[in-house]
Amino acid sequence: MKGKPCQDSFVVKTSIVLPPDTNSHGTLFGGKLMAYIDDVAALSAMRHARKPVVTASTDSIDFLHPIYEGNSVCLESFVTYAGRTSMEVFVRVISEDLLTGERNLCALSFLTLVALGEDGKPTEVPKVIPQTKEEKELYKTASARAANRKKRRQESKLLAEKFGTEYPWCRNQK
């Protein structure tokens, strides 16, 4: 399968932050931003794979700067690395005060998405061909992030086994 450059999966989504999108502090709900992040990541992954995708994981999202009502919020994403069936997608979030032009970097995130074949099972995706200095840096550091994800997933599985579906404080009250 032929590789694809990062730019082929580049997506930009811009929205204005309206009152229903904000919390009591007049800033964009974190969950709303997380949904935007997942949305652009899926678009990038689908552009890269040209297949349906599902989100396998989201690395931590650090909210670096608030996004205020009336600001625009711009998300940029692209595939930074591809394994056999999974893709790492980088998302950058920038806000802009539309009256002053002030821009702020508000969040960065990495997500892992998996391509699905017609049978609904994971299917192969093209490799990534990084071209710019920044793309090459993200590509080079992807294996370390993947190792961290693998470790975190193993820890999550252990916690899931330990806690199961019942509340810990109710186990002896049957």
User: What is the per-residue pLDDT for 169?
Assistant: 57
- Name the token pair of 44: 């990038």
Task: Outline where the chain has alpha helix (H).
Answer: 30-49, 133-163
Taking the C-alpha atoms of residue 109 and residue 111, their distance in angstroms, rounded to an integer, is 7
User: What is the per-residue pLDDT for 164?
Assistant: 81
- Name the token pair of 62: 């650090």
User: What is the per-residue pLDDT for 171?
Assistant: 58
Assessment of whether the complete model's pTM goes beyond 0.75:
yes
Residue 28: partners with Cβ closer than 8 Å, 6 or more residues away: 17, 21, 22, 66, 67, 68, 69, 73
Q: What would the pLDDT profile of 24-65 be if each residue is shown by its tens digit?
A: 999 999 999 999 999 999 999 999 999 999 999 999 898 999
The CATH number that applies at residue 52 is 3.10.129.10
Does position 9 have pLDDT exceeding 90, yes or no?
A: yes
Q: What's the domain range around 115?
A: 4-170
Does position 174 have pLDDT exceeding 90, yes or no?
A: no
Taking the C-alpha atoms of residue 44 and residue 58, their distance in angstroms, rounded to an integer, is 14
**What percentage of the chain exceeds 70 in pLDDT?**
96
Judge contact between 131 and 5, C-beta under 8 A.
Answer: yes
The full length of the chain comes to: 174
Residue 79: partners with Cβ closer than 8 Å, 6 or more residues away: 4, 6, 9, 44, 45, 47, 48, 87, 88, 89, 128
Judge contact between 80 and 88, C-beta under 8 A.
Answer: yes
Q: Number of structural domains, the chain?
A: 1
Q: Which residue has the higher pLDDT, 163 or 15?
A: 15
Does position 150 have pLDDT exceeding 80, yes or no?
A: yes
SS3 (DSSP) at 79: strand
User: What is the per-residue pLDDT for 60?
Assistant: 85
Q: 162 to each of 25, 97, 151, 168, 171, how far by Cα in Å? A: 38, 47, 17, 10, 12
Taking the C-alpha atoms of residue 125 and residue 48, their distance in angstroms, rounded to an integer, is 8
Q: What would the pLDDT profile of 62-102 be if each residue is shown by its tens digit?
A: 899 999 999 999 999 999 999 999 999 999 999 999 999 99
